[in-house]
Structure 1
Amino acid sequence: MDAALAALTTEEIQEFVKNGFVVKRNILDPKLCAAARDRLWAGNTSSHLRRDDPETWINGIPEADRQSTPDGMNDRTGDHGWRLRELSGDEDLINLLPRRVFPWFEQLLGEGEVVTPEVSSSAADPDPRGSRLRGWPVWGGKELRGMYCVLPRERTSDSPALADAARAGAHTDPEPMHLVASAYVDKVPKDGGGIALFPGSHC
């Protein structure tokens, strides 16, 4: 999937201005998505989570297994989340998303207004402490925030509605930014996922 993406249409730009986001589908290289998943599991230090046993993914990380490296680069302190920030400069991940959508960023923000993605690690030359990253290492580099894994939850009759649960966890992050791109690198079931977007909340 080396072909360049078509420019955003006028309608998509208007949607972005109005709602604060644009949703695009089937734009990522499946091989790089697979490489990203491999890289995530290669960084697994959990005594509970097992790639080949999806039952271990459901209903969160046991409290005894909620740990983080001191620098926050491999963080499992959340009950249903795992943040692998050490991948922030990874070549495959940068090719997967930042370099892929870079022309759209320039289209929306202007040429020369976007930080050019730079590789600082690879599968053959990892950077587990994030020492080569540009920017605040605890938040990842200027290219990426790393790779975030949101584990599935079983829904019960008394579970809050998805929209209510998303509103309860809504937040902004402190680091300065103009534009963010997020992507799913695996199949996500209906009503699943780890990102909630509220139209107009950018205003």
Structure 2
Amino acid sequence: MDRSKKTLHQVELLTEAQIVAFRRDGMLVLPGVLDADLCRQAREQMWSLIAEHRPSMRRNDPSTWVPFTEEETKRYQRPEGGGDPYFSGRGHRFYIRNGAEDLLLDTAPRALWPVAEQLLGEGEVVWPAGIHEDGSTTGPCLMTEDNVAGMGTHLGPEAETWTGKSTGKTEQLSLPKTGPVWMTGQGTRGLYCTLPNSPPHVENYRSAHSEALYDTFWRLQIAVYIDDLPANGGGLTLWPGSHQRIWDYWEAVHRDAPPPSRPEGVPRWDGYTIPPLPDIKADTEPVETDGPVGSVVLWHAGTLHVAGQNALSDVIRQATINTFVKTPESVSDEVVRRDPSGNLWRDWSEEVRSIT
């Protein structure tokens, strides 16, 4: 359904000082900027689905907010035709794949549309249209082998029915509503929730990662909190300034040999293990974000990040994650795949590029 941008709650544009901070840190927190009533509706939907899929978990009794057992996890099945289970859980995490529905789209990415275009360029961001009448979604995707394989993990045995074979080119791709709709800019990842008393991070933040700097139209990502999130409640954790250091490594090592090619002796590019990460983790203090209901975390897709530990006993971290996708018309396949003369901010707006 095409929603009028003019009738939705819209977040105010960023100030010059905020853009300066975003460029420097690769992240920016906007406290309580989203519509509180839409956030409330999203919470009500979440608890309604919990009552349907996990009735033992009672809203007013935090003692029932316990980790999912292996037996529970196995019960959640993919829908017929492919996609992730609409509701699922594993350990201290549970997921609701409602990211292409109007409620979450209106709450977050559509409300932040002015900011997305301010940062990435007017008319250069894929509009999150959401679900068609037939239950599918459609948007652009660069169909590389890695991207097709990654989407397959969210589509299941029916994956090739949706993606076909890798072509190495950008195509308009149809996906089921619980599929990887974030790959085409048509939905958020749905609700990503962390139960109380989640385990601490594994040694040296092993699951922290940066998104790829190639083969993707991703540039700007957001985390949205649909309920109050106190400190130590599992908020997104980021390493300020890491985006620049990771890019500098890319420039020095991969500029003339973009993946999958690489200079002799250089490890395969992997956002979890690239060589700059140990130094970044050693000398940069990570920032765990928090804030009142409707708070937003903006971050450059290259910034090192990880989900936080929820050390509280009576709070569920309720967040949705979204990626704003550049249009294929604004960044060609050749540039996305090789980026022959770019820099960290080349694909961003003139306003962002001109501010130092």
Classify the TM-score, shorter chain.
Answer: 0.7 to 0.9
Q: Secondary structure at the match of 1:189?
A: coil
Find the counterpart in structure 1 of residue 270 from structure 2: none
**Is residue 100 from structure 1 mapped to residue 111 from structure 2 by the alignment?**
yes
Q: Could you state the TM-score of these two structures normalised by the residue count of structure 1?
A: 0.78
- The alpha carbon displacement at 1:110 in A equals 0.6
- The alpha carbon displacement at 1:77 in A equals 4.3
Deviations 1:100-131 (A, max 9, x none): 1111111111111111121428xxx9x9xxx4
Find the counterpart in structure 1 of residue 194 from structure 2: 150
- The alpha carbon displacement at 1:166 in A equals 8.3
Q: Is the 8 A contact 2:14 2:115 kept in 1?
A: yes
Larger Rg: 2
Match of 1:191 among 220, 225, 232: 232
- The alpha carbon displacement at 1:134 in A equals 3.0
Find the counterpart in structure 2 of residue 55 from structure 1: 63
Find the counterpart in structure 2 of residue 65 from structure 1: 72
Q: How many residues align?
A: 187
Question: Which stretches in structure 2 are left out of the alignment for 5+ residues?
Answer: 1-7, 140-174, 245-356
Deviations 1:52-75 (A, max 9, x none): 3321214x2223212432231335
**Is residue 14 from structure 1 mapped to residue 20 from structure 2 by the alignment?**
yes
Match of 2:131 among 105, 116, 120: 120
Match of 1:133 among 112, 134, 137: 137
Deviations 1:125-171 (A, max 9, x none): 9x9xxx423355532342311111111116xxxx75x7x77823313
Match of 2:92 among 46, 56, 80: 80
Q: Is the 8 A contact 1:83 1:147 kept in 2?
A: yes
CA distance in 2, matches of 1:64, 1:173: 32
**Is residue 109 from structure 1 mapped to residue 120 from structure 2 by the alignment?**
yes
Q: Secondary structure at the match of 1:8?
A: coil
- The alpha carbon displacement at 1:193 in A equals 2.3
Distance 1:152-1:166 versus aligned 2 partners, 3 A rule: farther
- The alpha carbon displacement at 1:38 in A equals 1.5
Q: Secondary structure at the match of 2:43?
A: helix
Question: Which stretches in structure 1 are left out of the alignment for 5+ residues?
Answer: none
- The alpha carbon displacement at 1:199 in A equals 0.9
Q: Which has the higher strand share?
A: 2
CA distance in 1, matches of 2:37, 2:131: 20
AA of the residue aligned to 2:180: W
Q: Is the 8 A contact 1:47 1:65 kept in 2?
A: no
Q: Is the 8 A contact 2:109 2:128 kept in 1?
A: yes
AA of the residue aligned to 1:78: R
CA distance in 2, matches of 1:168, 1:32: 35
Match of 2:38 among 16, 32, 37: 32
AA of the residue aligned to 2:92: H
- The alpha carbon displacement at 1:173 in A equals 5.9
CA distance in 1, matches of 2:205, 2:23: 22
CA distance in 2, matches of 1:196, 1:165: 15
RMSD (Å), alpha carbons: 2.8
Deviations 1:29-82 (A, max 9, x none): 111111111122233312543333321214x22232124322313353421111
Q: Could you state the TM-score of these two structures normalised by the residue count of structure 2?
A: 0.47
CA distance in 2, matches of 1:39, 1:145: 16
